[in-house]
Amino acid sequence: MNHIVSLRNVKVKYEDAVIFSNITLDIAKGEFIYLLGPTGSGKSSILKLLYADLHPSEGVIKVNDFNVSSIEEKQIPFLRRSLGVIFQDFELLTDRNVLENLIFVMKATGWTSKTSMLNKVDDLLDLVKLPKITKEKMPHQLSGGEQQRVAIARALVNNPDLIIADEPTGNLDPKVSRSILQLFTEINDKGTSIIMATHQHSFLKINPQRTIICEGSEIKDISKEQVQQKLDLGNQNG
Ligand SMILES: Nc1ncnc2c1ncn2[C@@H]1O[C@H](COP(=O)(O)OP(=O)(O)OP(=O)(O)O)[C@@H](O)[C@H]1O
């Protein structure tokens, strides 16, 4: 099987605190995965492993054909360029408008043609359903949901095969959260794999997907079919 992410016997610890003792996980190309678990259970840590912001103390991690567990420092920008990473607090550059935020990432990742960059910005704004006028706006002039759409556009600049989203709706109200989930669903429908850490269990009802639960230094892997069965049983029981 063609995996976009593969973790083998991975141990994670911060100083003496073991967060995961031995986790193994494969994610197929095109999959959408939720990462659930209580605060402090290690969701962000798993995501950080994938973009080499945290290194395992044992085990093998492969992402997008990169052997991340033994990656050299100079290869890390290439790994990150092959991914789209999205955070709860958007992390837009607050001193530039939306266009400049997107162009900044394009230039940093090797884009040079001004026309190509401007065309791509228009395509991205269409994709995330923001009007063209948004280009001129500063981040503080946008709502949280609009800022997250810009952050998603930024993550898509280099057509990544995998989107890593850490609590992407954590700062948004339920209605806006659902619209952002819908956007992730559409991106996934086009073939991009998504792994999303979230506290919003309601997402499973709206868009049931395979779910990884972090608890007690282990992970529990619940297939999409099992998630669906649990939801059906819940509905039957009232
Ligand atoms: N840099 C660090 N140094 C030491 N301990 C850390 C560090 N980062 C995280 N931890 C600890 O590791 C554990 C897992 O943290 P992590 O942020 O991965 O959890 P989480 O499930 O994402 O939490 P939340 O839902 O609150 O975002 C926590 O106990 C946290 O305190």
Residue nearest (by alpha carbon) to ligand 1 atom 3: 14
- pTM recorded for the entire structure: 0.94
Overall domain count for the chain: 1
Q: How many whole angstroms from its chain centre is CA 215?
A: 20
To the nearest whole percent, how much of the chain has pLDDT over 70? 99
Which ligand 1 atom sits closest to the C-alpha of 37? Answer: 21
3-state secondary structure at position 180: helix
Indicate the average pLDDT of the chain: 95
The verdict on ipTM greater than 0.90 is yes
Q: Using a 6 Å CB cutoff, which residues line ligand 1? A: 14, 19, 37, 39-45
pLDDT value at 11 more than 70: yes
* Helix (H), strand (E) at residue 85: strand 83-87
Compute the distance from residue 169 Cα to the ligand 1 centre, in Å: 18
CB contact at 8 A, 10 and 49: yes
Instruction: Specify the long-range contacts of residues 218-221, CB closer than 8 Å, at least 24 apart.
Output: 218/20, 218/21, 218/22, 218/23, 219/20, 219/23, 219/25, 219/46, 221/25
Compute the distance from residue 115 Cα to the ligand 1 centre, in Å: 42
Q: How far apart are CA 238 and CA 234, in angstroms?
A: 6
Provide the CATH number for the domain around residue 134. 3.40.50.300
Compute the distance from residue 2 Cα to the ligand 1 centre, in Å: 30
Other beta carbons within 10 angstroms of residue 178's beta carbon come to 17
**Best residue among 12, 14, 54, 195 to mutate for probing ligand 1, ranked by most atoms within 8 Å of CB:** 14
Question: For residue 127, what pLDDT is reported?
Answer: 95
Give the N- to C-terminal CA distance of the chain in Å, as an integer: 39
Q: Please state, in angstroms and as integers, the Cα–Cα distance from residue 60 to each residue in 16, 22, 46, 57, 79, following that order.
A: 20, 11, 13, 10, 15
pLDDT tens digits, one per residue of 89-111: 999 999 999 999 999 999 999 99
pLDDT tens digits, one per residue of 106-139: 999 999 999 999 999 999 999 999 999 999 999 9
Compute the distance from residue 231 Cα to the ligand 1 centre, in Å: 29
Q: How far apart are CA 204 and CA 97, in angstroms?
A: 34
Which ligand 1 atom sits closest to the C-alpha of 42? Answer: 18
Which residues constitute the domain of residue 219? 3-236
Question: For residue 82, what pLDDT is reported?
Answer: 92
Please give the structure tokens belonging to residue 102.
């997107």
Name which of 194, 197, 219 is nearest 12 in CA terms. 219
